[in-house]
Amino acid sequence: MTVDAARIGPSTPGKPPVPRGPRTPKVSGMITRGFALAAAGLLRYPVSGRMSGARRLNIQGLHHVALISSDYEASKRFYTEVLGLSVIAETFRAARDSWKLDLAVPGGGQIELFSFPGAPPRPSRPEAQGLRHLAFVVPDVDAAKAALEAQGVVVEPVRTDALTDRKFTFFQDPDGLPLELNEG
C-alpha cells in the first residue's frame, strides 16, 4: 500500500495536513506523523531524539510543572493542605488577572499553579495527547492512600507495576488531572 506523505496530517480536526514539498517521497506501508513531517522538511528536532555531543543539552533535572486550575482556591488548598506541598511564593499578576503559586516538591522541583480566567478544560478521559499524569514518590503507597482517603480524596486500588514491581495508585486533583503515587 502506498501512502502519500502529503495526506498525513494532524489528527486535530480543522488543521491543514502536512504540505507536500518537492522532495517528499511516497512511502510504502505504515507511516508515522514524525516521518511525514521530516519528509516534508517541517520537523524541528531529530526523529531519533539523539543529539551530537556538541549539541547535547546537559539537562540536570526537572525544574517545574505548570498547571492551570479552574478554581484557584480549591487547587491551592488541595496541593498545600491535602498533598502537603510548601508555598515558595504566591503572586497576583494584575495585568493578566491571574494568580501564580510556586510550590516546592520534596526532593527538588516545583509545581507552578496558575489561574487564568476562561481557560478551557483539558480532557483527562479518554487519555489525550500531552501531559498524561504527574507522579509523586512516597515511601509507602498504602499509607499515603489511607491518608488521602481520610481527607475525602477518592483513590484507585493499589496495583503493582509489572515492569518495576513497585506499588502505585492514582487519584485526581480538583480539575481531574490524574496524579500518581509511586512507591520508591
Amino acid (one-letter) located at 183: E
How far apart CA 174 and CA 155 sit, in angstroms, is 13
pLDDT at residue number 170: 96
Asked, for residue 53, whether it belongs to a domain, the answer is no
Say if residue 71 is in the same domain as residue 102.
yes
Query: What pLDDT is stored for residue 7 in this prediction?
Result: 37
Q: Does residue 141 belong to any structural domain of this protein?
A: yes
Q: Which three cell numbers stand for residue 127?
A: 487519555
Q: Are residues 72 and 29 in the same domain?
A: no
Domain count, the chain: 3
Determine the pLDDT at residue 17.
47
| CA-to-CA dists, residue 9 to 14, 36, 130, angstroms | 11, 8, 17
Distance CA 176, CA 180 (A): 12
**Which pLDDT value is given to residue 126?**
77
Please give the pLDDT value at position 174.
Answer: 95
Q: What is the predicted pLDDT for the residue at 123? A: 81
Cα dihedral 84, 157, 134, 94 sign: negative
Domain that holds residue 137: 132-184
20 φ/ψ sector (left φ>0, alpha ψ -120 to 50, else beta): beta
φ and ψ at residue 99, rounded to 5 degrees: -95, 150
Instruction: Say if pTM beats, i.e. exceeds, 0.85.
Output: no
Residue 65, in any domain of the structure = yes
Residue 47 lies in a domain: no
pLDDT given at position 77: 98
Q: Does residue 127 belong to any structural domain of this protein? A: no
Q: Within a domain: residue 76?
A: yes
pLDDT of residue 3: 38
Among 110, 105, 107, CA closest to 64: 110
- Digit-by-digit pLDDT tens for the chain (184 residues) are 333 333 344 444 454 444 444 443 433 333 344 444 444 555 455 555 565 556 777 777 889 999 999 999 999 999 999 999 999 999 999 999 999 999 999 999 999 999 999 999 888 777 777 888 999 999 999 999 999 999 999 999 999 999 999 999 999 999 999 999 999 8
- Residue 59 in contact with residue 74, Cβ under 8 Å? no
